[in-house]
Amino acid sequence: MSELPAGVERRRFDGEERLATEGEPVYGEPTADGWRAWDARRSKLGAMLETGMDTGLAGGETVLYLGAAAGTTVSHVADFAGATYAVEFAARPTRDLLDAAESRPRLFPLLKDARKPETYAHVVEPADVVVQDVATRGQARVANANARFLDTGGLLLAAIKARSEDVVADPSEVFERELDTLSESYELVETARLEPFHEDHLGVVARKR
Protein backbone atom coordinates (compact mmCIF):
# COMPACT_ATOMS: atom_id res chain seq x y z
CA MET A 1 0.00 0.00 0.00
CA SER A 2 1.42 3.38 -1.02
CA GLU A 3 2.16 6.01 1.60
CA LEU A 4 -0.66 8.49 2.20
CA PRO A 5 -0.12 12.24 1.80
CA ALA A 6 0.64 14.23 4.95
CA GLY A 7 -2.71 15.30 6.32
CA VAL A 8 -4.48 12.11 5.22
CA GLU A 9 -4.77 9.36 7.84
CA ARG A 10 -6.64 6.15 8.47
CA ARG A 11 -9.07 6.71 11.33
CA ARG A 12 -11.85 4.66 12.87
CA PHE A 13 -15.44 5.71 12.33
CA ASP A 14 -18.20 3.54 13.80
CA GLY A 15 -15.70 0.73 14.24
CA GLU A 16 -14.44 0.87 10.64
CA GLU A 17 -11.01 2.14 9.60
CA ARG A 18 -11.32 4.66 6.77
CA LEU A 19 -9.36 7.40 5.05
CA ALA A 20 -9.84 10.78 6.71
CA THR A 21 -8.80 14.42 6.54
CA GLU A 22 -9.04 17.11 9.19
CA GLY A 23 -11.67 19.75 8.48
CA GLU A 24 -15.32 20.77 8.55
CA PRO A 25 -17.78 18.18 7.13
CA VAL A 26 -19.22 18.88 3.68
CA TYR A 27 -21.50 16.06 2.52
CA GLY A 28 -22.80 14.43 5.69
CA GLU A 29 -19.75 12.22 6.13
CA PRO A 30 -18.97 10.73 9.58
CA THR A 31 -16.68 12.81 11.79
CA ALA A 32 -14.65 12.16 14.92
CA ASP A 33 -12.29 14.43 16.87
CA GLY A 34 -12.18 16.98 14.04
CA TRP A 35 -11.45 14.37 11.37
CA ARG A 36 -13.88 13.57 8.54
CA ALA A 37 -14.22 10.24 6.78
CA TRP A 38 -13.28 10.30 3.09
CA ASP A 39 -15.86 8.18 1.27
CA ALA A 40 -14.09 6.43 -1.61
CA ARG A 41 -17.46 5.46 -3.10
CA ARG A 42 -18.18 9.14 -3.62
CA SER A 43 -14.65 10.17 -4.58
CA LYS A 44 -12.50 8.88 -7.44
CA LEU A 45 -9.33 10.28 -5.90
CA GLY A 46 -10.27 8.65 -2.61
CA ALA A 47 -10.70 5.39 -4.50
CA MET A 48 -7.25 5.79 -6.06
CA LEU A 49 -5.77 6.09 -2.57
CA GLU A 50 -7.85 3.19 -1.22
CA THR A 51 -6.76 0.88 -4.04
CA GLY A 52 -3.12 1.65 -3.28
CA MET A 53 -2.21 3.75 -6.32
CA ASP A 54 0.92 5.85 -5.87
CA THR A 55 -0.58 9.30 -6.48
CA GLY A 56 2.67 11.10 -5.69
CA LEU A 57 0.79 13.41 -3.33
CA ALA A 58 2.80 14.38 -0.27
CA GLY A 59 0.67 17.22 1.11
CA GLY A 60 1.06 20.96 0.61
CA GLU A 61 0.98 20.88 -3.21
CA THR A 62 -0.68 23.56 -5.32
CA VAL A 63 -3.60 21.79 -7.00
CA LEU A 64 -5.83 22.56 -9.96
CA TYR A 65 -8.97 20.45 -9.56
CA LEU A 66 -11.14 20.05 -12.67
CA GLY A 67 -14.76 19.03 -12.17
CA ALA A 68 -15.14 20.05 -8.53
CA ALA A 69 -18.95 19.69 -8.46
CA ALA A 70 -20.33 20.40 -4.98
CA GLY A 71 -16.93 19.93 -3.33
CA THR A 72 -17.10 16.33 -2.07
CA THR A 73 -13.53 15.44 -3.07
CA VAL A 74 -11.92 18.83 -3.55
CA SER A 75 -12.78 19.76 0.05
CA HIS A 76 -10.72 16.79 1.23
CA VAL A 77 -7.90 17.86 -1.09
CA ALA A 78 -7.97 21.38 0.31
CA ASP A 79 -7.72 19.92 3.83
CA PHE A 80 -4.19 18.64 3.14
CA ALA A 81 -2.94 20.46 0.01
CA GLY A 82 -1.78 24.01 -0.52
CA ALA A 83 -3.68 26.45 -2.73
CA THR A 84 -6.47 24.43 -4.38
CA TYR A 85 -8.23 25.88 -7.43
CA ALA A 86 -11.59 24.21 -7.96
CA VAL A 87 -13.09 24.52 -11.45
CA GLU A 88 -16.80 23.75 -11.86
CA PHE A 89 -19.02 24.56 -14.84
CA ALA A 90 -22.51 24.23 -13.35
CA ALA A 91 -23.88 27.02 -11.20
CA ARG A 92 -25.97 24.93 -8.80
CA PRO A 93 -23.18 22.69 -7.40
CA THR A 94 -20.91 25.73 -7.30
CA ARG A 95 -23.15 27.18 -4.59
CA ASP A 96 -22.41 24.14 -2.43
CA LEU A 97 -18.75 24.43 -3.38
CA LEU A 98 -18.74 28.01 -2.08
CA ASP A 99 -20.13 26.75 1.23
CA ALA A 100 -17.34 24.16 1.43
CA ALA A 101 -14.77 26.89 0.80
CA GLU A 102 -15.98 29.13 3.66
CA SER A 103 -13.97 27.19 6.25
CA ARG A 104 -11.09 26.47 3.86
CA PRO A 105 -8.98 29.56 3.10
CA ARG A 106 -6.83 27.58 0.62
CA LEU A 107 -9.83 26.51 -1.52
CA PHE A 108 -10.66 28.83 -4.44
CA PRO A 109 -13.88 27.98 -6.35
CA LEU A 110 -14.02 29.00 -10.02
CA LEU A 111 -17.28 28.93 -11.99
CA LYS A 112 -15.57 28.07 -15.27
CA ASP A 113 -15.52 25.47 -18.05
CA ALA A 114 -12.53 23.11 -17.74
CA ARG A 115 -12.58 22.75 -21.54
CA LYS A 116 -11.62 26.44 -21.79
CA PRO A 117 -8.57 26.94 -19.54
CA GLU A 118 -7.84 30.28 -21.17
CA THR A 119 -10.83 31.70 -19.24
CA TYR A 120 -9.14 31.13 -15.88
CA ALA A 121 -5.46 31.19 -16.80
CA HIS A 122 -5.17 34.71 -15.37
CA VAL A 123 -6.34 33.48 -11.95
CA VAL A 124 -4.65 30.10 -11.44
CA GLU A 125 -1.02 30.02 -10.35
CA PRO A 126 1.33 27.30 -11.63
CA ALA A 127 0.22 23.97 -10.17
CA ASP A 128 2.10 20.92 -8.94
CA VAL A 129 -0.89 18.65 -9.58
CA VAL A 130 -3.90 18.64 -11.89
CA VAL A 131 -6.78 16.44 -10.75
CA GLN A 132 -9.10 15.54 -13.63
CA ASP A 133 -12.61 14.61 -12.46
CA VAL A 134 -14.66 15.94 -15.38
CA ALA A 135 -17.15 13.30 -16.48
CA THR A 136 -17.75 14.52 -20.01
CA ARG A 137 -16.84 13.37 -23.50
CA GLY A 138 -13.23 14.19 -24.29
CA GLN A 139 -11.83 13.68 -20.79
CA ALA A 140 -8.25 13.22 -22.02
CA ARG A 141 -8.48 16.32 -24.19
CA VAL A 142 -9.54 18.33 -21.13
CA ALA A 143 -6.51 17.04 -19.22
CA ASN A 144 -4.22 17.89 -22.13
CA ALA A 145 -5.64 21.40 -22.41
CA ASN A 146 -4.90 22.02 -18.73
CA ALA A 147 -1.35 20.69 -18.86
CA ARG A 148 -0.37 24.33 -19.46
CA PHE A 149 -0.60 24.92 -15.68
CA LEU A 150 1.98 22.24 -14.85
CA ASP A 151 5.75 22.49 -15.02
CA THR A 152 7.54 19.62 -16.74
CA GLY A 153 7.25 16.63 -14.40
CA GLY A 154 4.06 17.94 -12.80
CA LEU A 155 1.47 15.31 -11.98
CA LEU A 156 -1.89 14.49 -13.50
CA LEU A 157 -4.29 12.42 -11.40
CA ALA A 158 -7.23 11.49 -13.60
CA ALA A 159 -10.32 9.32 -13.32
CA ILE A 160 -11.59 8.29 -16.74
CA LYS A 161 -15.26 7.33 -16.80
CA ALA A 162 -15.84 5.00 -19.74
CA ARG A 163 -19.59 5.66 -19.98
CA SER A 164 -19.02 9.39 -20.37
CA GLU A 165 -17.08 8.68 -23.57
CA ASP A 166 -19.19 5.88 -25.05
CA VAL A 167 -22.14 4.11 -23.40
CA VAL A 168 -21.92 1.00 -25.59
CA ALA A 169 -18.19 0.45 -26.25
CA ASP A 170 -16.15 -1.95 -24.15
CA PRO A 171 -14.62 0.11 -21.29
CA SER A 172 -11.17 -1.33 -21.99
CA GLU A 173 -11.30 0.04 -25.54
CA VAL A 174 -12.40 3.45 -24.26
CA PHE A 175 -9.57 3.52 -21.73
CA GLU A 176 -7.02 2.61 -24.40
CA ARG A 177 -8.19 5.48 -26.63
CA GLU A 178 -8.14 8.01 -23.81
CA LEU A 179 -4.70 6.92 -22.62
CA ASP A 180 -3.40 7.28 -26.18
CA THR A 181 -4.71 10.86 -26.22
CA LEU A 182 -3.21 11.60 -22.81
CA SER A 183 0.20 10.43 -24.04
CA GLU A 184 0.36 13.53 -26.25
CA SER A 185 1.02 15.64 -23.12
CA TYR A 186 1.84 13.15 -20.37
CA GLU A 187 4.01 10.15 -19.62
CA LEU A 188 1.85 7.45 -18.03
CA VAL A 189 3.11 6.28 -14.63
CA GLU A 190 0.34 4.02 -13.33
CA THR A 191 -3.21 2.99 -14.21
CA ALA A 192 -5.72 0.91 -12.26
CA ARG A 193 -9.43 0.14 -12.39
CA LEU A 194 -11.34 1.72 -9.52
CA GLU A 195 -13.67 -1.17 -8.75
CA PRO A 196 -15.27 -1.91 -6.34
CA PHE A 197 -15.65 1.77 -5.56
CA HIS A 198 -16.52 3.02 -9.07
CA GLU A 199 -17.63 0.80 -11.94
CA ASP A 200 -16.02 1.27 -15.37
CA HIS A 201 -13.59 3.93 -14.14
CA LEU A 202 -9.83 3.97 -14.67
CA GLY A 203 -7.50 5.79 -12.32
CA VAL A 204 -4.48 7.36 -14.03
CA VAL A 205 -1.26 8.82 -12.66
CA ALA A 206 0.85 10.61 -15.27
CA ARG A 207 3.65 13.19 -15.53
CA LYS A 208 3.74 16.13 -17.87
CA ARG A 209 6.25 15.65 -20.65
Q: Is 80 annotated as a binding residue?
A: no
CA 29 to chain centre: 18
Q: Is 113 annotated as a binding residue?
A: yes
Q: Is 83 annotated as a binding residue?
A: no
Q: Is 133 annotated as a binding residue?
A: yes
Q: Is 118 annotated as a binding residue?
A: no
**What's the CA gap between 169 and 152, in Å, rounded?**
33
Q: Is 90 annotated as a binding residue?
A: no
**DSSP string of 108-167?**
EEEE--TT-GGGTTTTPPPEEEEEE---SS-HHHHHHHGGGGEEEEEEEEEEEEHHHH-S
Q: Is 54 annotated as a binding residue?
A: no
Q: Is 37 annotated as a binding residue?
A: no
Fill in the DSSP letter of residue 78.
H
**Nearest 5 degrees, angle CA 160-CA 154-CA 47?**
35
Q: Is 72 annotated as a binding residue?
A: yes
Fill in the DSSP letter of residue 91.
H
Cβ contacts of residue 21 below 8 Å, gap of 6+?
Answer: 7, 8, 9, 35, 36, 38, 76, 79, 80
Q: Is 136 annotated as a binding residue?
A: yes
Binding residues for S-adenosyl-L-methionine: 72-73, 88-89, 113-114, 133-136
Binding residues: 72-73, 88-89, 113-114, 133-136
